[in-house]
Amino acid sequence: MKPRIVVVGGGTGGMVAAYEMQEALGATHQIILISDVDYFQFYPSNPWVAVGWRKREDITFPIRPYVERKNIIFYDRAVVGCNAEQNQLTLADGQIISYDYLLIATGAQLDFPAVSGSGPHHGWSESVCTVDHAEHAYGRYQQFLQNPGSLVVGALPGASCFGPAYEYALILARDLKKRGLRDRVHLSFVTSEPYIGHMGLAGVGKSKEILTNKLREEGFDTYVNAAITHIDSEKVYFDEKDSLGKTIRSHAIESRFSMLLPAFRGIPVWTKVPELCNEKGMILVDPYMRSIKYSNIFAVGLTVALPPVEVTPVPTNTPKTGYMIESMVTTIVTNLKNELQKIKAEKVRPTLNAVCIADTGDAGLVFVALPQIKPRRVDWFTEGRWVHLAKVAFEKYFMHKMKSGHSEPLYEYLTFKLLGITRTEKDSENMKKGSSTF
């Protein structure tokens, strides 16, 4: 039997990893993909689902036929146990799957329990973090439209993925205008960021100016350094902090519809593996995305422990965007292939560039932060109507890429290279810059 590489998680990181592993090592290794759901979802379109501009079937597809076409074995089961000493996983139906190498790409758990009254199922705030949540948000939004009033969009303490909060806020404003209801809704944006446009990245280019103007133009009241403490059916409660983190004012603002992005935690199954994770359950890796404890375990995506870009009065964390996750995958595959095939080559590291496209209804915002931590070689944030079209094209392109199994087609590689963006860099290049995120 061929040695096995098992990838867990059928999201952005896991799908790309399964395809890249198959291409690089499929001739000598069996590639297995395990995911607790049998479909892939394109997360960046969730804000559109949450206003009814997209339906679930537009942004999801079944994983099995596409990966099996590439000879990847697929299990649609949750991993519920991991014995890292024995190299074994336990699936929800009791099956034991052994591995030679394990790549963890299970994303993150949404930490709604950290703020009372938050979350769509046990609380009063909506989310766009999954397609299920986005559908739920749309249901609640439709009820809200029957009797409009005040609404709040923003992010809870410890959040990292701020882009979709801005995106949803601006899309909602646009949708309300389209429905002729804008003058019946009071809009607020409440965020744990120290200023509008910080985005967990200490700002990118003109993000502060552009996003502040955008929210102002759309008539939002904005609150920063806000530690939301409680949400109920009528109000959002939060403490406004000063630069030292001391409460300067407590607020309770009306909201009959709230979309508040939560902080992330690790997936519980990995927290039981000795010395695999930090206290939040995020996986501890070296600069090559390899577990610092287990040499045959790797991790990519939201599940990886990355430090915040800077300390903020209300905690914020570093966002992990799609391109950054793909760069983590390419790092693992490149180094592992060289190691297994005994190819003498310098090791590579992920560049961890943050690239993001956000829609605002009829226009959009795009940013590139390269690298994430300042000083940056590229620190660019812009807006325009063309970005709306680019986001629509990106949705179609990425879904096609995930179906066809070409993780980095040549035209994508060349386009990014022209912009000075690459997925990986050699160890020596990284050392020369003297910066390491890990």
Catalytic residues: 161, 356
Task: Tell me which residue of 384, 423, 366, 433 sits closest to 204, measured CA to CA.
Answer: 366
Binding window for ligand FAD (CB under 6 A); candidates: 12-20, 170-178, 220-228, 287-295: 12-20
The residue whose two tokens read 């080559």 is 345
- Contact residue for ligand FAD among 24, 51, 129, 131 (CB under 6 A): 129
Binding window for ligand FAD (CB under 6 A); candidates: 202-210, 319-327, 331-339, 402-410: 319-327
Binding window for ligand FAD (CB under 6 A); candidates: 104-112, 288-296, 344-352, 429-437: 104-112
Nearest approach, Cβ of residue 133 and ligand FAD (Å): 9
The residue whose two tokens read 């297994």 is 340
Half-sphere exposure for 17 (CA within 13 Å, toward CB): 34
Is residue 35 involved in binding ligand FAD (CB under 6 A)?
yes
Residue pair 173/218 in contact (Cβ under 8 Å)? The answer is: yes
With 0-12 / 13-18 / 19 or more C-beta atoms within 10 angstroms meaning exposed / middle / buried, residue 360 is buried
Nearest approach, Cβ of residue 254 and ligand FAD (Å): 25
- Contact residue for ligand FAD among 5, 6, 7, 14 (CB under 6 A): 14
Q: Name, in order, each residue with C-beta under 8 angstroms of 264's C-beta and a sequence gap of 6 or more.
A: 108, 109, 110, 111, 158, 159, 160, 161, 302, 317
Whole-number Å distance between alpha carbons of 95 and 68:
20
Residue pair 226/258 in contact (Cβ under 8 Å)? The answer is: no
Is residue 194 involved in binding ligand FAD (CB under 6 A)?
no
Is residue 84 involved in binding ligand FAD (CB under 6 A)?
no
Whole-number Å distance between alpha carbons of 418 and 413:
9
Residue pair 61/46 in contact (Cβ under 8 Å)? The answer is: no
Is residue 302 involved in binding ligand FAD (CB under 6 A)?
yes
Nearest approach, Cβ of residue 153 and ligand FAD (Å): 12
Is residue 159 involved in binding ligand FAD (CB under 6 A)?
no
Task: Scan residues 249-288 and list those touching ligand FAD (CB under 6 A).
Answer: 267, 269
Give the H or E element holding residue 427.
helix 427-433
User: Which CB sits closer to ligand FAD, 253 or 402?
Assistant: 402
The residue whose two tokens read 């749309």 is 138
Is residue 305 involved in binding ligand FAD (CB under 6 A)?
no
Nearest approach, Cβ of residue 195 and ligand FAD (Å): 21
- Contact residue for ligand FAD among 158, 164, 200, 361 (CB under 6 A): 164
Is residue 13 involved in binding ligand FAD (CB under 6 A)?
yes
User: Which CB sits closer to ligand FAD, 37 or 210?
Assistant: 37
Binding window for ligand FAD (CB under 6 A); candidates: 204-212, 307-315, 354-362, 411-419: 354-362
Measured between its terminal Cα atoms, the distance across the chain in Å is 36
The 10 Å Cβ neighbour count of residue 148 is 17
Q: Name, in order, each residue with C-beta under 8 angstroms of 331's C-beta and a sequence gap of 6 or more.
A: 288, 289, 348, 349, 350, 423, 424
User: Which CB sits closer to ligand FAD, 288 or 323?
Assistant: 323
Binding window for ligand FAD (CB under 6 A); candidates: 105-113, 197-205, 220-228, 406-414: 105-113
Supply the DSSP string of 361-407, one letter for each residue: SSSEEEEEEESSSSS-SEEEEEEEHHHHHHHHHHHHHHHHHHHHT-S
- Contact residue for ligand FAD among 19, 21, 30, 43 (CB under 6 A): 43
Q: Contact positions toward ligand FAD, by CB under 6 A?
A: 8-14, 34-37, 43-44, 46-47, 78-79, 105-107, 128-129, 161, 163-164, 267, 269, 301-303, 320-323, 325, 356-358
